[in-house]
Chains A and B, each alone.
Chain A
């Protein structure tokens, strides 16, 4: 069983957690973002699951993606709930839309991932730099020999559509 301490949280992945047991391990060993891909219809999905949401097939394989995308929405936490995040405030939680499989199989669907927007030093990106539309890429925060947390950091590419920042 994997048990990782991070920011006062106990992240627990028992051996029979067949959704998650490989996810963070693969992130650590490959430093690539790996998603589950349906062997029948080829569509990828996140979070890791056993059934294909589109064709009901139970056959899947891991497939690497580029880890590039844009900020689809976000929030900035000022009042931390978890004690271990207090020294991180204000920190941004971003909903990243990945470049692969956008608008498939229907226009409103996409591969989206939750993470923090961090600097290359894994500090929270200052909130004035966080905006919907900004381009990001995955980075890996190594927490244990067999566990890395996929996070995202800004790139210098032009934004996807208009960049929009909460005015408050």
Chain B
């Protein structure tokens, strides 16, 4: 398999506020997020000529957003999908540039995920007719993401002895990180006891095992390495990417076990092979945290610990700021806001620049205290290599490895 290692970079990142009452259109939010990413990169309207987005019938379109910023596009594409789309679209953007179709691509996700199309499946989503493959699950009261994934989590507890206490540490770690993030929707730190005392949603999931629903737009910009070196920020190089890799039988993945295995099992050789590194070389992970369990399952599937030992790994302190390999340093979907995965890539770009937007007064100049007490710093010292683990469902995932 070929590799474009070090030939492409992420040069700009940006977002809107994370809220539950945006009171504006997905188009308006996307325009703001893309503009922020362009300003971050030091790009004017002629600096971007490609645009991509992903959505699930709940958002605006690239060719409506670009004109609001005076951008004339040579390439655009809006794809259907949620989680795991970010990494896949970054790979497709590299391909479009490699093919000579365009030179710089902005990728966005814009969603009123709380005030309009609730990600949890209530409201407009619950009222939709049930047809096609949905007939295999939805008539049985299995519609939301949590309901769709819970038998995977339950079987993991049965096979490996994983406990609620262990996975609660994912929420604890991400809430700790969010307390250093001025943008985070939830900034309060929580304890394992808080997670276990929160109400049941769908056993084995407590409320605090589940992510937020928020309104926001998020964006990043991909271009070639040569162009990247002339831009405003330190370029962040793409070492490897895998997009929407599947397990067998994604129509009904329960048919082909082990059901505790997730798509990372099939993605890991692709992405590590391109990058030429091993999990040991990774300093920071960004693992899709729709639920505490999804982070655990992916970390073990990509080889950061042995299969089945994810519970021990996430409860060992390794994934917390100050630990060996912090995970989701922004607080991400559990605490920062829900973006279908793009915000974890944005955070890792900032980590690799040394310019994480924490409470350190000199963060923009790369000056950090590395004091991880509440309301202080969330920059990882000397972060060289980051990895994103994108999740759509147990049988579909993506991955991205970057360096500075």
B120 touches A (CB below 8 Å)? yes
**A contact residues around B200 at 8 Å (CB):** 76, 78-79, 90, 168
Q: How far is the CA of A81 from the CA of B140 in the complex (A)?
A: 11
B158 touches A (CB below 8 Å)? yes
B124 touches A (CB below 8 Å)? no
Q: In the complex, are the beta carbons of A164 and B254 less than 8 A apart?
A: no
Q: In the complex, are the beta carbons of B202 and A79 less than 8 A apart?
A: yes
A116 touches B (CB below 8 Å)? yes
Q: In chain A, residues 60-108, which have Cβ atoms closer than 8 Å to a Cβ of chain B?
A: 72-83, 85, 88, 90-91, 93, 95, 108
**B contact residues around A53 at 8 Å (CB):** 248-249, 255
Q: In the complex, are the beta carbons of A77 and B141 less than 8 A apart?
A: yes
Most buried by A among B137, B141, B164, B251: B141
- Contact pick for A95, options B122, B151, B204, CB 8 Å: B151
Q: In the complex, are the beta carbons of A166 and B252 less than 8 A apart?
A: no
Q: In the complex, are the beta carbons of A108 and B256 less than 8 A apart?
A: yes
- Contacts A73-B152, A112-B254, A114-B136 aside, 10 further interface pairs with beta carbons under 8 A come to A11-B130, A47-B133, A73-B259, A74-B154, A75-B204, A77-B147, A93-B142, A93-B147, A164-B158, A166-B204
Q: In chain B, residues 173-207, which have Cβ atoms closer than 8 Å to a Cβ of chain A?
A: 196, 199-204
Q: In the complex, are the beta carbons of B122 and A81 less than 8 A apart?
A: yes
Q: In chain B, residues 148-169, which have Cβ atoms closer than 8 Å to a Cβ of chain A?
A: 150-152, 154-155, 157-158, 164
Q: In the complex, are the beta carbons of B139 and A80 less than 8 A apart?
A: no
> How many residue pairs at the A-B interface have CB separations less than 8 Å?
141
Q: In the complex, are the beta carbons of B144 and A81 less than 8 A apart?
A: yes
* Interface residue ranges, A against B (CB under 8 Å): 6-7, 9-14, 17, 19-20, 23-24, 45-47, 49, 53, 72-83, 85, 88, 90-91, 93, 95, 108-112, 114-116, 127, 132, 149, 151, 164, 166, 168
Q: In the complex, are the beta carbons of A78 and B199 less than 8 A apart?
A: yes
B131 touches A (CB below 8 Å)? yes
Q: How far is the CA of A110 from the CA of B256 in the complex (A)?
A: 7
A2 CB to nearest B CB, Å: 10
Query: Nearest residue in B to A49 (C-beta to C-beta)?
Result: B251
- Contact pick for A166, options B141, B203, B248, CB 8 Å: B203
**B contact residues around A112 at 8 Å (CB):** 252, 254-255
- Contact pick for B130, options A12, A19, A76, A81, CB 8 Å: A12
Q: In the complex, are the beta carbons of B121 and A73 less than 8 A apart?
A: no
The answer to whether A76 and B254 touch (CB under 8 A), given A11-B135, A12-B129, A95-B151, is no
Ranked nearest first, the 4 interchain pairs of A and B with the lowest CB-CB distance are: A75-B150, A73-B151, A78-B200, A108-B257
Query: Nearest residue in A to B138 (C-beta to C-beta)?
Result: A9
B149 CB to nearest A CB, Å: 9
B23 touches A (CB below 8 Å)? no
**A contact residues around B350 at 8 Å (CB):** none
B79 touches A (CB below 8 Å)? no
Q: How far is the CA of A11 from the CA of B136 in the complex (A)?
A: 11
**A contact residues around B121 at 8 Å (CB):** 81
B39 touches A (CB below 8 Å)? no
Query: 8 A-B Cβ contacts within 8 A?
Result: A19-B133, A20-B135, A76-B202, A82-B141, A110-B257, A116-B141, A166-B203, A166-B204
Q: In the complex, are the beta carbons of A91 and B141 less than 8 A apart?
A: yes
Q: In the complex, are the beta carbons of A46 and B255 less than 8 A apart?
A: yes
Q: How far is the CA of A24 from the CA of B130 in the complex (A)?
A: 14
**A contact residues around B202 at 8 Å (CB):** 75-79
B277 touches A (CB below 8 Å)? no
Q: In the complex, are the beta carbons of B154 and A75 less than 8 A apart?
A: yes
